[in-house]
Amino acid sequence: MCGIIGYAGGGRNQEVLDVLLTGLSGLEYRGYDSAGIALADEAVSVYKREGELENLEALLKETDVPSTPVGIGHTRWSTHGPPSDRNAHPHTDDGATVAVVHNGIIENYERLREELSELGCTFESDTDTEVVPHLIRHYVDEGLDEEGAFRKAVSKLEGSYAIAAVFRGSETIYATRQDSPLVLGLGEGGNYLASDVPAFIQYTDRVIYLEDGQFAVLTDDEITVTDGDGQVLEPPVKRIEWDAEDAGKSGYDHYMLKEINEQPRSLRQCLRGRVDELEGDVTTEELDELPEPARVQFVACGTSYHAALYGELTLRERGVKAQTFMASEYDRASVPIDDETLVIGVTQSGETADTLRALRQAERAGATTLAVTNVVGSSASRECDYTMYIRAGPEIGVAATKTFASQQTALTLLADAIRDAEHRELLGALRDLPDHVQSILDGSNAREIAAEYENAGAYFFIGRGYNYPVALEGALKMKEITYKHAEGFAAGELKHGPLALVTEETPIFAVVTGDDERATKTIGNVKEVEARGAPVVAVTDGQSDVERYADHVLSVPETHDRVGPILANVQLQLVSYWLANRLDRSIDKPRNLAKSVTVE
């Protein structure tokens, strides 16, 4: 949520403006409701608009925009004050001597605002952010230089933040972070900062990940990173292994459809070098030193929570005590944690605020921590004792798709790293997984089924065992991108209340793979809803006879019982996508949602 872009380019031409607009476009996937930029030279010029980036671009086309050597930009996701032009970032002090963009929440802003108002500062917005430029200006007026004023202002803030500031008459950007991501880009003839790499990946692949409490000073030819005491640091420079083309749509109408179709490649990347079917081995070198824990606790949010539920089942099947918590509900005061506990944070971005908070609590309690994440250099990967990357590649669509499949697959491999077991049949299924996903993509009838049930009042998703997390995820995708009411249930729970909501206008998506007792019992639940007149869509590998009771079938290849749910999820992704497409929804940027949730 929210996005920051900054560029110190040196020259006075359109380059700075072009970089900022390109960067804001590259951050749209994070979710936002307004956008703005500040250009600094002999004056600080601010341009901002509520709504889509195109509204800001229209304003700039109508305006004589100066060419400047430095600038910052922002896409805002509202927390304090509704979406509006005046609440959009950047914000300035009364005299527009300094402009600031900010991600996060300043928890003590009300007290600071009262103090600054008493000093004569006038506030124009409802935001917590606006206290920052006023604080900076206050300390400049007290005689501090730009960097000193910036540092002292930041020292007064409580909460989470990534902040960037530019000054009138200066060609420098000042930045810092605390519990909110900020990455620096080293370019040729200019330097960049952003919330995430896609903002500047077309300009440079050399990056520095700023740590909490560190400060950065950017000019066109230098980036200086210091600690809270002002000591100069030498942080490592990393190279990004993907490029701007990987983060583009590649001819697809939506990022989501592209990323659904990228799943065969993402799964191959996740499995590469980790599975040796001939030897019957799983190799996870990054976890070689991981001690076998007495218990495992997963912490996660949203789609990652559903993947964690799947991971919990894989461990419990192997006799490992495992439990999954919504990260926002995780509290070490009520959860037993000790040095024999392994706490696994499942987070696509590695920056999810609730998950990071839970991991930090676990660390303080003496637990071993492990991040299962997609983003190299993310906060979770840097802070945890161990990291397992899912290797899905960049995911731009807000609704997670390929990362969920890769999380499920990585957690299957993780179970082996924690407790080895005989699994040749499973390894063979993992080997075939990318091709099986491709066969679904090539032959799915999800588009036709979406058309059949476009006008339904609600959608229910049911499953048992490994299919239960997939039912939850199927419902979440339907909610996220179609804005239709959808719920996922453990199939056996239907008769304990939700069955009261089942009507002839309530399609039931039943995930039934394999032919074991769970499949048989789920078929019984299908019969229950069929008797109430509800249409049934069976997502199945054909091993059971659920097709007999279904109005429609979404087929998946027959495979191992732990891998079948990964395939079933692909069909449900496609149903949600095609239904949202028919309803003309904003598929890649659903209303009110953000890709990376960096506030609690």
Q: List, by residue number, the catalytic residues.
A: 2, 595
Strand, coil or helix: 548:
helix
Provide the 8-state DSSP code for 576.
Answer: H
**Torsion, CA 178, CA 72, CA 101, CA 302, rounded to 10:** -60
The amino acid at 464: R
The span from the CA of 34 to the CA of 48, in Å, is 7
Give the separation between CA 176 and CA 86, rounded to whole angstroms.
Answer: 24
Q: In degrees, to the nearest 5, what angle opens at C-alpha 300 toward C-alphas 297 and 304?
A: 120
Count CA atoms within 13 Å of residue 185 on its CB side. Answer: 28
Distance CA 237, CA 1 (A): 25
3-state secondary structure at position 5: strand
CA–CA dist 463, 553 (Å, integer): 15
Instruction: Decide if 386 contacts 287 (C-beta within 8 A).
Output: yes
Q: What are phi and psi of 484, to 5 degrees?
A: -90, 155
Token pair of 363 as six digits = 């660390």
Residue 191, strand partner residues: 8, 186
The span from the first CA to the last CA of the chain, in angstroms, equals 11
Would you state the structure tokens that stand for residue 56, as one six-digit string? 């800001």
Under DSSP, the state recorded for 423 is -
Quick one: 547 exposed, middle or buried, by C-beta within 10 A (0-12, 13-18, 19+)?
A: middle
The full DSSP string for 308-334 is HHHHHHHHHHTT--EEEEEGGG--TTT
Cα 170 to Cα 101: distance, rounded to the nearest angstrom: 17
What is the torsion angle, in degrees rounded to the nearest 10, for the CA atoms of residue 572, residue 577, residue 581 and residue 586? Answer: 140
What DSSP string runs through 198-257?
A: GGTTTT--EEEEPPTT-EEEE-SS-EEEE-TT--B--PPPEE-SS-TTTTS-TT-SSHHH
Cβ(463)–Cβ(491) under 8 Å? Answer: yes
Q: Looking at the DSSP assignment, which residues form a beta bridge with residue 45?
A: 39
Q: Give residue 158's identity as a one-letter amino acid code.
A: E
Euclidean distance between CA atoms 176 and 202, whole angstroms: 23
Q: What is the Cα–Cα distance from 544 to 449, expressed in whole angstroms?
A: 21
Round to whole Å and give the CA distance between 369 and 145: 41
Structure tokens at 356: 């990071």
| Contact yes or no for 191/172 (Cβ under 8 A) | no
C-alpha Rg value of the chain to the nearest Å: 25
537 CA to centre of own chain: 30
CA distance 515 to 175: 57
